[in-house]
């Protein structure tokens, strides 16, 4: 009897550890959790470091005994960074430069994606290929002539420098959004369109009243990604908009002292690393809040938008 009991309990433990098939058991689950936690920690580690540095005072920085955990919480770095970045007014300017192009980009991408998805016209494949090519070209190749062109048009240092390409479908990573909408609209059955046509709707009406309401998930996804990418875009904004207009460009100048690069001199420089970290964190905070509120849309949007195809 004891032997049977013993065997039964061993079996129980085995079943617990390994499960019916290998994937149910505790060992595997533990392994998965462990890996995820480790990787997750490595992901967050830089942010934690930045946060802890930003709270250090100058003495803590110079003190070799203090390592990564500040001895006292020191908020003055944030004040310096806030002042140097001129946070509030530049934040609204940044928002304007980001939100407006994001909306325009989404609307135009949806329009163009619908055109590619629903109509057959000669040379369609060529144009589609060119859309893809737009994404593959690094922006530097077209940058200099665009700079000269915008200079002649007089719209440098003006949000129009970003809005103009966006309105014509050449915005930042526009091709991705066009392709997202293209994939999505291909998945909508044509029978809907044809039924509406029988009832006498013209194609534009079909677009606005049928295609657009169905593609709201794609709209949300494109809007979110467009907003985030445009907000974080430093390179083109630096060149077309000059040094002080968006938060990111000001951060680049603020940070540049530590990195040893030259800047414009109009923006106060960080004098030590804690201020640099404080500046970085100030920039990240609106994005993180934005992300935490809307994260479901971000992640599920990639599923629903159909970029991965059916």
Partner 1 sequence: MKQLLNKFADFYRKITTSIKNFFIKLGIWILSGLQWALFGISWFFYRVKVKNEKNYVITFGFIPVRLEHWNAFWTFFVEIKHTKGGTDQLVIFKFMKFKLTNRRREAIIGYLFIGVWIIGFLWLTLVPLITSLQYSFFKITFSGDQGIQLNFVGFDNYVEIFNQLTYFQALQDFVYRTVLYLPLILILAMILAILLNQKIKLRGFFRSVFFLPVIVASGPIMTTLLGTTGDGGLLAITSNDTLTAALANTLPPFLAEFVGSMFTHLISILWFSGVQIILFLAGLQKVNREVYEAASIDGASPWETFWKITLPSLKSIILVAAIYTIVMLATFPTNLVLIRINEARRSDYGYASALSWVYFLIIGVILGIVAFLLTYEKKTIVKKQLMEVKR
83 to 102, contacts with partner 1 by CB under 8 A?
A: 86, 88-89, 92-93
Q: Which of 170, 201, 217, 268 binds partner 1 (CB under 8 A)?
A: 170
Distance CA 94, CA 81 (A): 17
Residue 283 touching partner 1 (CB under 8 A)? yes
Nearer to partner 1 (CB atom), residue 63 or residue 261:
261
Residue 167 touching partner 1 (CB under 8 A)? yes
Residue 244, exposed/middle/buried by CB under 10 A (0-12, 13-18, 19+)? middle
Residue 142 touching partner 1 (CB under 8 A)? yes
Distance CA 41, CA 268 (A): 34
Listed in sequence order, the residues at least 6 apart from 245 whose beta carbon sits closer than 8 Å to its beta carbon are 90, 93, 94, 97, 157, 237
Supply the minimum distance, in Å, between the C-beta of residue 168 and partner 1: 2
Binding track, positions 9-48, relative to partner 1; x by CB under 8 A? ------------xxx-----x--xx-xx--xx-xxxxxx-
Nearer to partner 1 (CB atom), residue 6 or residue 205:
205
Nearer to partner 1 (CB atom), residue 138 or residue 213:
138
Nearer to partner 1 (CB atom), residue 10 or residue 49:
49
Contact positions with partner 1 (CB under 8 A) in 192-211:
203
Q: Which of 1, 141, 191, 198 binds partner 1 (CB under 8 A)?
A: 141
Distance CA 211, CA 112 (A): 12
- With CB under 8 A, what is the number of residues at the site for partner 1? 98
Distance CA 49, CA 159 (A): 35
With b for 16 or more beta-carbon neighbours within 10 A and e for fewer, the 133-164 pattern comes to: ebeeeeeeeeeeebeeebeeeebbebbebbbb
Q: Which of 178, 223, 245, 257 binds partner 1 (CB under 8 A)?
A: 178
Residue 119 touching partner 1 (CB under 8 A)? yes
Nearer to partner 1 (CB atom), residue 86 or residue 268:
86
Q: Which of 6, 16, 205, 291 binds partner 1 (CB under 8 A)?
A: 291
Which phi and psi angles does 119 have, rounded to 5°?
-120, 145
Distance CA 209, CA 231 (A): 31
Residue 261 touching partner 1 (CB under 8 A)? yes
DSSP 8-state symbol, 47? H
């Amino acid at each position: 009897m004891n032997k049977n009991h013993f065997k039964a309990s061993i079996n129980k433990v085995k079943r617990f550890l390994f499960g019916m098939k290998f994937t149910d058991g505790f060992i595997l689950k533990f392994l998965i959790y462990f890996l995820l936690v480790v990787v997750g920690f490595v992901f967050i580690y830089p942010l934690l470091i930045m946060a802890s540095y930003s709270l250090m005072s100058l003495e803590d920085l110079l003190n070799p005994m203090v390592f990564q955990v500040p001895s006292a919480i020191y908020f003055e770095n944030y004040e310096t960074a806030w002042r140097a970045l001129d946070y509030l007014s530049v934040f609204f300017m940044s928002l304007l430069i980001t939100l407006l192009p994001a909306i325009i980009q989404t609307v135009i991408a949806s329009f163009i994606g619908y055109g590619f998805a629903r109509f057959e016209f000669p040379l369609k494949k060529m144009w589609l290929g060119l859309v893809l090519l737009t994404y593959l070209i690094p922006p530097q190749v077209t940058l200099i002539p665009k700079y000269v062109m915008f200079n002649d048009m007089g719209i440098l240092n003006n949000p129009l420098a970003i809005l103009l390409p966006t309105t014509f479908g050449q915005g930042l990573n526009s091709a991705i959004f066009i392709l997202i909408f293209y994939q999505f609209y291909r998945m909508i059955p044509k029978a809907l369109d044809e039924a509406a046509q029988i009832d006498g709707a013209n194609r534009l009406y079909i677009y606005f009243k049928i295609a657009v309401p169905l593609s709201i998930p794609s709209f949300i996804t494109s809007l979110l990604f467009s907003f985030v990418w445009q907000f974080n875009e430093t390179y083109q904004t630096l060149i077309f908009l000059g040094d002080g207009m968006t938060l990111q460009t000001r951060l680049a100048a603020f940070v540049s002292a530590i990195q040893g690069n030259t800047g414009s001199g109009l923006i106060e420089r960080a004098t030590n690393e804690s201020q640099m970290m404080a500046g970085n964190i100030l920039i990240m905070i609106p994005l993180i809040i934005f992300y935490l509120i809307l994260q479901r849309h971000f992640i599920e949007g990639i599923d629903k938008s159909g970029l991965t195809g059916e």
